[in-house]
């Protein structure tokens, strides 16, 4: 079966080189029994390729099941995949077969495989290597003959480096990598796919056909389509149902396409890393304050060196206080800027005459972020008399983060 026959059979539209390459890989790997890892953005059609591999394989007459690993709670995923014995956990009123037992002799498609818990990853690795598994609550080894096709829309190699996915399982699943191109990578196919969807939906809803003028086609092709084919299908259905004007212009089409914006606020950190984002915010505030203080110090020293302060400040007490304040300012680098404090008695009563020299004692301050963080936490705790909830609010972090920081820094 050639690529065009596969497209016709599975409803795939497009002629881009990336799409044809993906189909060719699926066609070649299908007759074998090795594992395949399909990667691609959400909505790009990964499940369609799992059906292609299964239907062109020797297991085509066996069962096929698609499992969304990210949609099954962590507490029940092992039971769903491998089954369980009666009484193995609360609510297990009877024994149950898992997917690997039900699909014996067929193909199982594990979508969003990167969402699997670490323990389940170890069980899956054993199935891949030996074909053996244990039901939850059982010590009897079960055998299965299942081909595994996995898919994910995240960078699994990054997950491996971050310790969220087993490296041995990654290489075992990734025997043959199959990347599905995003819709924006196959612009020549976008209008063809849209026309197919519009034809299907206008026929389904018995509405007149829709045509796009040249400007609308340009908007359609140049949009980034973050939701890929799934998003394009949804918009085509909206237009078929809601649009009264059957000849769409660019302006009409834009009413259905979400507006892209590069001015959205940047999210700090990733899902599940709230502690990191709070720490980053704290560091940013500290660095901003340090920079402002350094600039202020430079400005004051420049005024003094140029003689401007002699006329602006005539009170020795104020001058001495100014020097003390400058010495407290955080230094920009270990090579600190030094100031010689004038002696009011040596001015013979002339309060407007004083000099600034470079031979005074240097004052250096630690630039360690850990020391700064520790000092801030100590000051906040002292200010609020050890009440950690108030100290955390003062620092702009959660109470849980404050507890963790106190433990990490060995603070009293």
Q: What is the pLDDT of residue 130?
A: 94
Of the three residues 149, 181, 213, the one that is the final residue of a domain is 181
Count of the separate structural domains present in the chain? 4
Closest CA to 59 of 175, 147, 173: 147
Using alpha carbons, list the distances in angstroms from residue 282 to 58, 107, 373: 59, 50, 9
Which structural domain range is residue 387 located in? 369-408
Same domain, residue pair 107 and 123: yes
Same domain, residue pair 205 and 68: no
d(CA 292, CA 297): 9
Q: What is the pLDDT of residue 388?
A: 83
Paired tokens of 31: 């007759």
d(CA 37, CA 175): 7
Mean pLDDT by 10 residues, the chain (412 residues): 90 93 95 94 94 95 94 91 89 89 95 93 94 92 95 91 92 92 95 94 91 93 94 94 88 86 41 47 67 70 60 52 54 43 46 44 54 81 84 80 80 76
Q: What angle (nearest 5°) sits at the alpha carbon of residue 140, between those of residues 134 and 141?
A: 55
Q: What are phi and psi of 61, to 5 degrees?
A: -90, -5
The CATH number of the domain holding residue 135 is 3.40.50.300
In a domain, 145, yes or no: yes
Query: What's the Rg (C-alpha) of the chain?
Result: 33
d(CA 26, CA 3): 10
In a domain, 267, yes or no: no
d(CA 239, CA 220): 13
CB 230 within 8 A of CB 46: no
In a domain, 126, yes or no: yes
CB 68 within 8 A of CB 255: no
pTM for this one? 0.61
Q: What is the pLDDT of residue 52?
A: 96
In a domain, 364, yes or no: no
Q: What is the pLDDT of residue 389?
A: 83
DSSP symbol at 136: B
In a domain, 264, yes or no: no
In a domain, 196, yes or no: yes
Burial class (CB in 10 A: 0-12, 13-18, 19+), 19: buried
Q: What are phi and psi of 153, to 5 degrees?
A: -110, 15
Of the three residues 254, 289, 305, the one that is the final residue of a domain is 254
The CATH number of the domain holding residue 395 is 1.10.10
Paired tokens of 87: 């009484």
Neighbours of 119 (CB within 10 A): 11
Same domain, residue pair 18 and 147: yes
Question: To 10 degrees, what angle do helices 369-383 and 274-305 make?
Answer: 100
């Amino acid at each position: 079966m050639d690529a065009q026959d596969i497209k016709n059979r599975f409803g795939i539209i497009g002629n881009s080189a990336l799409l044809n390459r993906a189909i060719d890989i699926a066609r070649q790997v299908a007759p074998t029994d090795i594992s395949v890892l399909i990667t691609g953005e959400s909505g790009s059609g990964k499940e369609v390729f799992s059906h292609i591999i299964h239907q062109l394989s020797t297991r085509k007459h066996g069962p096929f099941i698609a499992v969304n690993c990210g949609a099954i709670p962590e507490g029940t995923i092992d039971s769903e995949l491998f089954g369980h014995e009666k009484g193995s956990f609360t609510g297990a009123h009877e024994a149950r077969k898992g997917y690997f037992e039900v699909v014996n002799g067929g193909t199982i498609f594990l979508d969003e495989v990167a969402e699997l818990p670490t323990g389940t990853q170890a069980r899956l690795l054993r199935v891949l290597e030996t074909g053996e598994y244990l039901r939850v609550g059982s010590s009897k080894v079960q055998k299965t003959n299942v081909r595994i096709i996995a898919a994910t829309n995240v960078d699994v190699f990054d997950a491996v480096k971050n310790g969220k996915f087993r490296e041995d399982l990654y290489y075992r699943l990734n025997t043959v990598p199959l990347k599905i191109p995003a819709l924006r990578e196959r612009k020549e196919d976008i209008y063809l796919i849209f026309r197919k969807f519009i034809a299907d939906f206008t026929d389904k809803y018995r509405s007149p056909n829709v045509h796009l003028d040249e400007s609308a086609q340009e908007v359609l092709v140049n949009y980034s389509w973050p939701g890929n084919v799934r998003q394009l299908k949804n918009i085509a259905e909206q237009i078929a149902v809601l649009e009264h004007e059957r000849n769409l212009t660019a302006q009409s089409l834009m009413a259905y396409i979400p507006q892209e914006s590069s001015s959205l606020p940047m999210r700090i950190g990733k899902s599940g890393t709230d502690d990191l984002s709070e720490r980053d915010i704290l560091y940013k505030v500290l660095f901003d304050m340090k920079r402002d203080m350094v600039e202020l110090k430079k400005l004051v020293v420049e005024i003094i060196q140029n003689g401007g302060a002699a006329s602006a400040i005539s009170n020795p007490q104020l001058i001495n206080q100014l020097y003390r304040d400058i010495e407290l300012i955080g230094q920009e680098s270990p090579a600190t800027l030094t100031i010689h404090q004038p002696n009011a008695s040596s001015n013979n009563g002339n309060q407007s005459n004083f000099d600034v020299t470079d031979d005074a004692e240097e004052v250096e301050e630690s630039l360690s972020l850990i020391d700064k963080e520790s000092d801030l936490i100590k000051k906040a705790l002292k200010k609020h008399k050890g009440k950690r909830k108030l100290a955390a609010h003062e620092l702009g972090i959660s109470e849980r983060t404050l507890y963790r920081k106190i433990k990490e820094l060995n603070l009293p």
